[in-house]
Amino acid sequence: MNKTWKELLCMVLSAVMVLGLAACGSSKAEASAGDGDSTSGDTAADSIVLKMSTAQPEEHIASQTALRFADLIEQGTNGAVTVKMYFANSLGAQDVIVQGLMDGSIDLSLEFIDSTYNPVFEVQSLPFIASNFDEMEYIFSPGSQVYSLVDKGFSDIGIKLLGVYCEGLTGVSCKNMPESYNTWDQKKEPIRVWNSAVAKAGMTAMGYNTVAMTWSDTYSSIQTGIVNGSVGQTSLGVYTNLRDVVNYFIPYNFGAEFVHLAMSSTSWGKLTADQQKVVQDAATQVCKEIFDSAEQTEADGFAMLKEAGIEVLELSDADRSAIAQHVREEVWPAQEEILGKEAMDAIYADLKACAK
């Protein structure tokens, strides 16, 4: 091989080596950048996006609260944790959402989780569990014995309870005016109840026939006459969801209209301690805000119902108190065998604490 060819070969080999070293350096830089992204909370690539489901449409007060909750999380984590919203059960019915929370495929929800998943949850559905907004707030907030029982029940099924969102106290909405609605005399037409034996027992004690069904079937069942109406919604809830199919609302204060602000324990465990604190603080704040505004929200709901042509069948304090006392005497004693002595002792203790 002559000198010219040797020089050319050397130049080619040198170029290849330079390119190879540059490629190696580039790969190391990319790997280093990737490693940094996986541990730092300061880059967009490292941000956590939590998937959240709500049962209500976007315009409903509960979904608006969920949006505020999401904003507080994003602000508190400087954008390291964000929340993607899915309204009106667009990810699936209740069973799909709860299963998603348990297996970690859904991160957050604002959804009613019933006693199908843990019998202790039934204590929250005791008819006339609260006579007023102060009792409602105490019973459904951290610090009460009932809340502690429910919190542990959620933990047992792999879900982190962040708070209980109480929109207000509920009544019965219906298409046709029930007979003797201000007493516990027998009524003819059936009313929809949710999947709760104790709620059904409470309505039976008030003289109503009942049909248990999921919330998603309620509107069409009233519309087609399968049931005359529904129990378990506030005045605002009736206006938002049922105003086109009902003509009357009876504010019994039958129970609290509540849903659970919950997070998958799997997803919770993936957050840092600081991020967990931000999420919990945000939940505590929005739940407190809704308690504080519950009485005004009820009044606004009454006004909206009347404007929509729905008659609010007023009850005297004496009638409401008599119905509540009758139902408690008829239904509550039997619940110790079903719910357990611990659960019933908890509610009696909480009501006693409220009276102080």
* 3-state class (DSSP) for residue 332: helix
- What is the reported pLDDT for 11? 42
- What is the reported pLDDT for 43? 38
* 3-state class (DSSP) for residue 158: coil
Q: Where are the domains of the chain?
A: 46-117+145-167+258-293, 171-256+297-355
The reply to whether 171-256+297-355 shares the fold of 46-117+145-167+258-293 is yes
- What is the reported pLDDT for 61? 86
* 3-state class (DSSP) for residue 57: coil
Q: Can you give the pTM of this predicted structure? A: 0.80
- What is the reported pLDDT for 67? 98
**Consecutive sets of 10 residues in the chain, 356 residues long: mean pLDDT of each?**
40 40 37 32 66 92 95 98 96 93 98 91 94 94 97 97 96 96 96 92 97 92 98 94 97 95 98 98 97 94 97 95 95 91 94 88
Non-local CB neighbours of 283 within 8 Å, separated by 6+ positions: 69, 162, 163, 261
Residue 144: both structure tokens together: 């009460």
Task: Look up the CATH number of domain 46-117+145-167+258-293.
Answer: 3.40.190.170
- What is the reported pLDDT for 19? 37
Non-local CB neighbours of 313 within 8 Å, separated by 6+ positions: 177, 181, 182, 248, 249, 250
The CATH architecture assigned to 171-256+297-355 reads 3-Layer(aba) Sandwich (3.40)
